[in-house]
Amino acid sequence: MMNIHQILKQLPHRYPFLLVDRVLAIEKGKSIKALKNVTINEPFFEGHFPHRPVMPGVLMLEALAQAAALLAFDALGTSPSDEMVYYFAGIDGARFKRPVEPGDQLILEVELLRMKAGIFKFKARALVDDELAVEAELTCAMRNIT
């Protein structure tokens, strides 16, 4: 488990872009289960959509990528630094199955498929009430920027 204070030490993201509230379980080098509480106070709901607020699909994918980053840093036994960035390198097979609305708890499940030379491939999905909301394969890259 990881609380918000531990997550803030591991991810460079901050409000309004930090999209992981808690890590429920992590199996080193294998998988992570985390959660994002979706509230009406999210700034994106103001414009997406005012008459029927729905979490944007790209932000669901970003939440999954942030959970994947936590898994990657844990697998490597490292933390992010000012000299390193963690980028999206690809999103394959993204499918959106249900809308995510204020009041939902988005459960983020990410499995590490492989890692080699700073490139990570993940199988990811997010659920609300055990119902699939989004699934995709994510490719991410860690790169030194110095």
Question: What positions carry a catalytic annotation?
Answer: 48
CA atoms within 13 A on the CB side of 1: 2
DSSP 27-94: ETTTEEEEEEE--TT-GGGGTS-TTS----HHHHHHHHHHHHHHHHHHHHT----TTEEEEEEEEEEE
CA distance 18 to 36: 9
Q: Which helix (H) or strand (E) holds 99?
A: none
CA atoms within 13 A on the CB side of 134: 26
